[in-house]
Each structure stands twice: as structure tokens, then as C-alpha cells.
Amino acid sequence: MGRFEGQRIGLRESGTNRLIIAYPFTVTGSDEQIKRRVRTWFYLVTCSAECLLPNTFVDFLNEEEIEKYA
């Protein structure tokens, strides 16, 4: 079990830590599997993902973000 498993997560912009998108599904698997799944999903649903993905990382949502995007 990875540290992301069962948590609310999303993609953040490197450098600013700005939340780009919250992942809407329940996550299971190892951290690497989860990171790959989130990044692949973002690529499939977002036209500009190709440009944004190199500068993003998967991270936990904070309480305010969970309330806003839940």
C-alpha cells in the first residue's frame, strides 16, 4: 500500500504548488501506479496536458481543496 492509496489527490504545478486539477476517483495501488494513472487521466481529459505535464507532480489535497472539490 502506498502513501497515496485511499487519499484525495491531484496534480500540482512544480514551483508554485498551485493545484491544477483534483483527481475525482478513488486511488489504489502503489504510489508509482497511482502517479502514472493520475497523469495518464489528466493527459486524456485535458488538451493542454502535453505542455503542462512536465511541470506537475501528484500530491495530496489540503482540507480546503477537499471541501471545494469533493
Domain boundaries, the chain: 9-69
Nearest to 35 by CA among 23, 17, 51, 24: 23
Query: Which residues fall within 8 angstroms of residue 45, CB to CB, at 6 or more apart?
Result: none
Burial of 42 (0-12, 13-18, 19+ CB in 10 A): buried
pLDDT of residue 7: 95
pLDDT tens track of the chain, all 70 residues?
789 999 999 999 999 999 999 999 999 999 999 999 999 999 999 888 888 899 999 999 999 999 998 6
pTM of the model: 0.89
User: Angle at CA 61, nearest 5°, toward 69 and 63?
Assistant: 75
